[in-house]
Amino acid sequence: MSSPSSSLNPSRSTADLVVESAMQLFSRYGYRRTSMVDIAREAGLAKATLYLHYEGKEDVLRAVQERMIDAVTRRCDEAEAAPVPFRERLHRMIDARFGAAFEVFNDHDSLPELKKAWPTAGGERLIAHEAEYRARLAKMIATAEQSGEITLARCGLTPEAIIRLLVSNAVGAKWDRELSKSVPAYRAHLADLASLIAAAVER
């Protein structure tokens, strides 16, 4: 299936309506129970209009993914450029990806099926995004060490090990009933995670 950009290039306003409506419906009812008719209705479009631009629900999901990837990239840019201590930059980088996504998709009933559909729709694009994100984290850590802000030898972990800990913990916390009771609680956990890592390497 082709992506919206490779189909008929819907206008920005139409794309915004569709993506925002799909994000709300996928979060509220789950991916499987949301139909193209539901998305069209939520967006205030005729079903035929929606199909002019998107071949099906998987095509819409790819558009949602692209929107979220763009948002993560923008927030990571801001985190890297922020004139704040390492632990705050690290927190902003983690929150840029995981906190912002959890704010949109945080319902325990809809998460499992969305998680199953997510890689099927995204494929290589998501794999590339994951690699880019980890590379950005590695660069942030390396830059902080080069500037003398942190010393990795203090904790004995490689940048790759630190990134693995950060990502796996952030992902796992989404399924913790206590941590995921609310978006603020989950995001507070991400801040604690960043502080813990920073405390182990800061001078």
pLDDT of residue 187: 93
Which of 101, 60, 96 minimizes the C-alpha distance to 76?
96
For 4-201, CATH number out of 1.10.357.10, 1.10.1200.10, 3.40.1690.10, 1.20.1090.10 equals 1.10.357.10
Return averaged pLDDT per consecutive 10 residues of the chain, 203 residues in all.
43 83 91 94 94 93 93 95 95 94 80 81 89 96 95 93 95 85 91 95 89
pLDDT of residue 12: 54
The rounded distance, in Å, linking the Cα atoms of 177 and 135 is: 30
The rounded distance, in Å, linking the Cα atoms of 74 and 116 is: 26
Q: What is the pTM of this model?
A: 0.84
